[in-house]
Chains A and B, each alone.
Chain A
């Protein structure tokens, strides 16, 4: 009995022919597979949710004992001492100073490198340099910490003998060199997105490559370049190992780069290396510090992505 005969003889519209009936099992299998894949995709959302939940939960315990006012305006951070103070300003000062030094190094060099790569470099140079920049990104940060502590600091001490062994200057400089590839690649992408016709118009007026880069391409790509800077700031603020190794681990409320100080990240590392009982105020203090760090980097990342999206839509 073939399908046509069954259909003609069948007055009940709800039965399926034997050939199509095989597909029911197949559809169930497809649905199950799709569900499993969706669960995997949800893992990203789950991770974000878990991070926020853990940080908030432990910080809540912390803020039961410490007032918000003292946390944000206090000038001493000594949670592990007998006479404990919980002002986060010293850690924030350390983070801001090291990041500022890093950006002072990375922004000019990264922007110039990006302009060179997109406007001056030949195709061959670009093919060689871009993988090298990617390799630079791949070097582990603890190795950069070693470099800052045992090479850059002695080098700087030759010029400025009063420099202490742990200081924010060498940590900042090495962090800056680490961040150059981030700025260079995002800014270069932004500049390459500028239409060729704008450049050609400028060349047609007799401008040199430098003039075109400065007066035509850069202003057109400015929102992408700013997005690169914002992402670089976020990277600098979140950096841990370079500052933990080279800038020291003593919280110190100072904005002078030649001093040693602890950043938020270095403090978390220092405490985690020690022995803190689960649930003690010292243990909870790292989650409070981590919450501040997370909020700062999240805000910067979101702003950076919004700015970046804005430039993509223009062309």
Chain B
């Protein structure tokens, strides 16, 4: 039984303790609110940005904008050469990055032994992922434009962007291959398949979804890249289209478009943005809104695909 002085001191401690607990719980809730706000800042910025672009670019949202060439008069300047250029550059980027990247990922996961050689390659891949994009532009300028004399062409741009997204494709290939259980491979080896047969018929087949997701994310990054393309020297006032790949004389496909001058969507936006005339800023805003919609659609598609694939995994 506690004596009277001790009871009093226990009671005093109790109120203090209760006050401290209340204070701590209050701090906890305050921090939860602050944390939620911090998370929302990114989202709020994105929404504000998009609304700003749409509000400023609204006058130019019509079909004519897509079919006009750039011109000195803001009212009749359009995106035709830009989106055609973007499309063509994306074709070359895809053809550069995907075969090399998937092959590299397959090698690193299936064939490479754990020695200094494969470590070297892995270190290089992760370093390349962190290199600023403008350095890729300098590489392209020195090596592709002047060194290999490919000129300031769609081919150069496609190769550069392909190298830029190569680490993304390699990493996503490796991760989707790693997700395949070893049992599947071992079952194939057990019935006498060679390594390549296992890779071709099983590994690639099961990892296709993950690889596709990574490729889409890489391509959406490549569409928005400006710095390397500027450094190559993409001319910004292009009032012509590259020669069409499909001609009406045999052989029905030609490759002249690869060595043609070009412009792409983000460069056109940058060019309009850099002019002091406010009327061009409207065009830039409209282009920005279009680029964001395309990028968000592609990223959203990739995220959705990844979610669906994870749900459908049958093993």
The answer to whether A binds B is yes
Q: Spell out A's residues near B (CB within 8 Å).
A: 26, 29-30, 33-34, 36-38, 40-45, 47-48, 50-51, 54-55, 57-58, 109-110, 112-113, 115-117, 120-121, 129, 131-136, 138-147, 149-151, 177, 180-181, 184, 206-211, 213, 231, 234, 237-241, 245, 265, 268-269, 272-273, 278, 286-287, 290, 293-294, 297-298, 301-302, 305
Known: A41-B108, A41-B112, A269-B230. A138 touches B296 (CB 8 A): yes
Q: For the complex of A and B, list the 3 residue pairs with the smallest distance between their C-beta atoms, beginning with the closest.
A: A140-B224, A116-B35, A238-B132
- Taking the complex as formed, is B206 at the interface, i.e. its CB lies under 8 A from any CB of chain A? no
Please report whether the interface of chain B is mostly helix, strand, loop or mixed according to DSSP: helix
5 additional A-B residue pairs with CB within 8 Å, beyond A26-B194, A239-B132, A297-B135: A44-B125, A48-B128, A146-B284, A180-B42, A245-B273
Interface residue total, chain B, C-beta cutoff 8 A:
91
Which residues 180-209 of B sit at the A interface, judged by CB distance below 8 A?
Answer: 194-196
**CB-based contact A131/B28 at 8 Å:** no
Closest CB-CB distance, A296 to chain B, in whole Å? 10
**CB-based contact A143/B132 at 8 Å:** no
- Taking the complex as formed, is B215 at the interface, i.e. its CB lies under 8 A from any CB of chain A? no
Closest CB-CB distance, A226 to chain B, in whole Å? 16
Closest CB-CB distance, B257 to chain A, in whole Å? 23
**CB-based contact B130/A142 at 8 Å:** no
Which residues 6-51 of B sit at the A interface, judged by CB distance below 8 A?
Answer: 21, 24-25, 27-28, 31-32, 34-36, 38-39, 41-43, 45-46, 48-49
Q: In the complex, what residues of A have CB within 8 A of residue B139's CB?
A: 47, 50-51, 54
**CB-based contact A41/B104 at 8 Å:** yes
- Taking the complex as formed, is B126 at the interface, i.e. its CB lies under 8 A from any CB of chain A? yes
**CB-based contact A48/B273 at 8 Å:** no
Q: In the complex, what residues of B have CB within 8 A of residue A144's CB?
A: 49
**CB-based contact B166/A43 at 8 Å:** yes
**CB-based contact B107/A138 at 8 Å:** no
- Mark B107-129 against chain A: 1 for CB-CB distance below 8 A, else 0: 11001100000001100111110
Closest CB-CB distance, B192 to chain A, in whole Å? 10
Bound Cα distance A74, B213 (Å): 48
- Taking the complex as formed, is B53 at the interface, i.e. its CB lies under 8 A from any CB of chain A? yes
Bound Cα distance A169, B11 (Å): 55
Most B CB atoms within 10 A — which of A30, A140, A237, A293? A140
Most B CB atoms within 10 A — which of A47, A57, A150, A209? A47
Q: In the complex, what residues of A have CB within 8 A of residue B195's CB?
A: 30, 34
- Taking the complex as formed, is B54 at the interface, i.e. its CB lies under 8 A from any CB of chain A? no
28 residue pairs of the A-B complex, CB under 8 angstroms, read A30-B195, A37-B103, A40-B101, A54-B147, A115-B35, A134-B303, A135-B299, A135-B300, A136-B42, A136-B43, A138-B220, A139-B49, A142-B224, A143-B291, A145-B270, A146-B273, A151-B52, A177-B42, A208-B25, A231-B130, A240-B226, A241-B226, A241-B266, A269-B227, A287-B142, A290-B135, A293-B135, A297-B132
Known: A41-B103, A54-B139, A120-B35. A140 touches B42 (CB 8 A): no
- Mark B43-69 against chain A: 1 for CB-CB distance below 8 A, else 0: 101101100110010000000000000
Closest CB-CB distance, A280 to chain B, in whole Å? 12
Bound Cα distance A268, B137 (Å): 10
Q: In the complex, what residues of B have CB within 8 A of residue A290's CB?
A: 134-135, 138
Most B CB atoms within 10 A — which of A143, A207, A210? A143
Which residues 225-275 of B sit at the A interface, judged by CB distance below 8 A?
Answer: 225-227, 230-233, 236, 266, 269-270, 273-274
Looking across the interface, which residue of chain A has its beta carbon closest to that of B32? Answer: A120
**CB-based contact A41/B224 at 8 Å:** no
Bound Cα distance A155, B57 (Å): 19
**CB-based contact B28/A139 at 8 Å:** no
Closest CB-CB distance, B291 to chain A, in whole Å? 6
Q: In the complex, what residues of B have CB within 8 A of residue A135's CB?
A: 46, 296, 299-300, 303
Bound Cα distance A43, B101 (Å): 9
Looking across the interface, which residue of chain A has its beta carbon closest to that of B224? Answer: A140
**CB-based contact A142/B48 at 8 Å:** no
**CB-based contact A139/B46 at 8 Å:** yes
Bound Cα distance A272, B53 (Å): 27
Bound Cα distance A297, B220 (Å): 24
Closest CB-CB distance, B20 to chain A, in whole Å? 10
Q: In the complex, what residues of B have CB within 8 A of residue A109's CB?
A: 38, 41
Looking across the interface, which residue of chain B has its beta carbon closest to that of A238? Answer: B132
Q: In the complex, what residues of B have CB within 8 A of residue A136's CB?
A: 42-43, 45-46
Q: In the complex, what residues of B have CB within 8 A of residue A245's CB?
A: 270, 273-274
| Residue in contact with A40 in the complex, picked from B100, B127, B231, CB distance below 8 Å | B100
Bound Cα distance A180, B137 (Å): 25
Q: In the complex, what residues of A have CB within 8 A of residue B270's CB?
A: 142, 145, 241, 245
**CB-based contact B134/A116 at 8 Å:** no
Q: In the complex, what residues of A have CB within 8 A of residue B236's CB?
A: 273
| Residue in contact with A294 in the complex, picked from B107, B121, B126, B135, CB distance below 8 Å | B135
**CB-based contact B194/A30 at 8 Å:** yes
- Taking the complex as formed, is B95 at the interface, i.e. its CB lies under 8 A from any CB of chain A? no
**CB-based contact A287/B138 at 8 Å:** yes
Q: In the complex, what residues of A have CB within 8 A of residue B146's CB?
A: 278
